[in-house]
Amino acid sequence: MLVTTQGQVHYLWWAVNQDGTVLDILVQRRRDAKAAKRFFRKVLKGQGEAPRGLFSDKLGSYCVAARERLPGTPHDTSGPEAGGPNHACQSTSAGRH
C-alpha cells in the first residue's frame, strides 16, 4: 500500500496472522528485497515460532526474503480471487543447487 507523507511516497508493510490480528506494521521508502528482508526480520523477531505458511502479493522481493528468512515455509502468491495455490516463489528456485 502506498502512503504519501510530506509529499514523499512510502510503502506500508503489515503482517497479520490467520485470525486477522495485525502483528506488525512498517513504513519504508523502498519496496525491494532489502526492505522485505528487514520487515520479515522485524516481524519474526516478535513471534515465538516460525509461521506455517506465508501469503503475499506477487512482488518478487517477498520471494527473495521468504527464501532467506523462512526456508522451507510454503509461500502462496495467489490471492483469494485466484482460486488455488500458486507457489511461484518456490518453483523458481527448484532445481537450483
pTM of the model: 0.67
Cell 506477487: give the residue: 58
What's the mean pLDDT in 34-52? 85
What's the mean pLDDT in 68-91? 66
* Better-scored residue on pLDDT, 79 or 78: 78
Distance between CA atoms of 69 and 58, rounded to whole angstroms?
A: 17
The confidence band for 9, taking pLDDT boundaries of 50, 70 and 90, is very high
The residue type at 52: R
Coil vs helix vs strand at 10: strand
**Domain residue ranges of the chain, discontinuous segments joined by +:** 2-93
Say what percent of the chain tops pLDDT 70. 80
Q: Are the C-beta atoms of residues 67 and 93 closer than 8 Å to each other? A: yes
For residue 56, which of 6, 69, 45, 3 has the smallest C-alpha distance? 69
pLDDT at 82 over 80: no
